């Protein structure tokens, strides 16, 4: 499961059991995120949580990092048995917008920030899985 954490809302993506394809799950208010994840893992198997790591182009932490770290701390306390990893989320919003354009979504739908967050989570998870594949192949 991957999370594109935002102060107001967060996008969530999951993968199939074979970990081949990432797909959007939901965008929910960030205040409900830990409860949502806790409920979800009661119903579905989750190996680990991948949380988007907000970095600037110079590789320094972005302004949002303090909120992400606070969320991850809360998450680890609530679900101590579930591993949490960060994964670089640079360009995910831009890639999400490009994906929506290439997918033929109308401008009004592309302005849906919740959809952008969910697609960003998908990109984070897919990128993470691809990096693991590259690592095991070398």
SS3 call for 90 = coil
Pairing verdict, β 49-53 and 2-4: parallel
In 10 A of CB 65, how many CB atoms? 15
Q: How confident is the model at residue 39 (pLDDT cuts 50, 70, 90)?
A: very high
CATH number at residue 121: 3.30.420.140
pLDDT per residue over 63-112, tens digit each? 889 999 999 999 999 999 999 999 988 767 777 777 777 888 787 777 77
Q: How many domains does the chain have?
A: 1
Among the listed ranges 1-15, 23-37, 54-68, which one has the minimum average pLDDT value? 54-68
Domain that includes residue 78, residue range: 2-137
């Amino acid at each position: 499961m991957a999370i594109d954490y935002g102060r107001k809302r967060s996008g969530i993506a999951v993968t199939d059991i074979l970990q081949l394809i990432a797909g959007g799950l939901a965008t929910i208010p960030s205040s409900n995120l830990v409860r949502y994840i806790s409920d979800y893992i009661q119903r579905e198997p989750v190996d680990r949580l991948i949380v988007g790591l907000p970095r600037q182009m110079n590789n320094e932490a972005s302004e949002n990092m303090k909120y992400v770290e606070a969320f991850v701390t809360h998450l680890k306390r609530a679900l101590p048995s579930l591993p949490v990893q960060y994964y670089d989320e640079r360009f995910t919003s831009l890639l999400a917008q490009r994906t929506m354009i290439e997918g033929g979504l109308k401008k009004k739908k592309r302005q849906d920030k919740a959809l952008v967050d969910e697609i960003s989570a998908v990109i984070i998870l897919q990128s993470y899985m691809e990096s693991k594949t590259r690592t095991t192949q070398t």
